[in-house]
């Protein structure tokens, strides 16, 4: 049996460009995860990581905690294939082609532009991104320059196969990535349709873990969207 633990990155700078970097909260979330694992003797045979800075920062925080505790931590393998789906490109294209969008999307774009404070902006942006990525995943919206849901899905499935083929029976593997790849892995394993998989991605907490166990053709789901390491309410974030 091979066990793969996916880790969503810590909180990134959602409304403070550049997005692709951890906030102070994101750093604390990953430190909490490292200490939680260390206290329970969690060890991994292989470590994989997506290419984004927030992925690499998340892995580095855990790696440094293990090294400081004289606990083993394997060298990380960075895999481009574990990058997130192109949410930013989808939103930018939709705004560029606003005249072709639904009245609901146009209304959300107007709300975003009229937002008077970070809270209003965050709420409007959340709803806009969710609405557009739902349409993108269902094949209702896209562009030749933007990776489709099917291409994204196949990319993640291929990356997961590559990981499983690279390790032997009994291996314990960890993958630091984003919410989209975790949702896609769940969708592949349990045959979840695309729009529902996107909904799942938006529900994942920052630094949450999702465990899969593979034994031949059998797959078992362990704890999913697990944040047992976050013992402070203020650390429970999704954006």
pLDDT reported for residue 141 = 72
Name which CATH class applies to 2-85+172-235: alpha beta
Kindly list the domain boundaries of the chain, sorted by start residue. 2-85+172-235, 87-137
How far are the Cα atoms of 62, 133, 208, 228 from residue 231, in angstroms, in the given order?
A: 17, 31, 13, 7
Can you tell me the distance from the alpha carbon of 127 to that of 131, in angstroms, rounded to the nearest whole number?
6
pLDDT along the chain (239 residues), means of 10: 96 80 96 98 98 98 98 97 88 66 70 70 77 80 82 93 92 97 90 81 95 86 95 92
pLDDT reported for residue 196 = 81
**Encoding tokens for residue 53?**
């800075």
pLDDT reported for residue 115 = 67
pLDDT reported for residue 137 = 83
pLDDT reported for residue 101 = 62
Q: At 168, give phi and psi (nearest 5°).
A: -90, 180
pLDDT reported for residue 138 = 79
Can you tell me the distance from the alpha carbon of 204 to that of 57, in angstroms, rounded to the nearest whole number?
19
pLDDT reported for residue 24 = 95
């Amino acid at each position: 049996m091979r066990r793969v633990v996916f880790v969503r990155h810590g909180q990134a700078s959602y409304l403070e460009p550049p997005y692709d970097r951890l906030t102070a909260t994101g750093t604390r979330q990953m430190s909490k995860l490292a200490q939680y694992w260390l206290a329970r003797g969690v060890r991994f045979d292989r470590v994989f990581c997506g290419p984004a800075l927030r992925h690499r920062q998340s892995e580095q925080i855990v790696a440094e905690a293990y090294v400081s505790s004289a606990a083993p931590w394997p060298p990380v393998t960075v895999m481009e294939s574990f990058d997130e789906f192109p949410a930013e490109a989808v939103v930018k294209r939709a705004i560029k082609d606003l005249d072709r969008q639904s009245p609901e999307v146009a209304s959300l774009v107007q709300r975003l532009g009229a937002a008077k404070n970070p809270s209003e902006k965050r709420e409007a942006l959340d709803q806009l991104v969710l609405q557009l990525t739902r349409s993108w995943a269902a094949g209702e919206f896209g562009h030749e320059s933007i990776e489709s849901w099917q291409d994204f899905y196949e990319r993640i499935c291929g990356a997961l196969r590559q990981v499983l083929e690279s390790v032997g029976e009994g291996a314990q593997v960890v993958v630091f990535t984003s919410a989209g790849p975790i949702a896609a892995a769940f969708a592949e394993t349990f045959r979840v349709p695309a729009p529902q998989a996107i909904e799942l991605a938006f529900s994942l907490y920052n630094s949450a873990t999702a465990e899969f166990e593979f034994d031949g053709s059998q797959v078992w789901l362990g704890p999913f969207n697990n944040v047992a390491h976050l013992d402070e309410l203020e650390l429970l974030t999704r954006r």
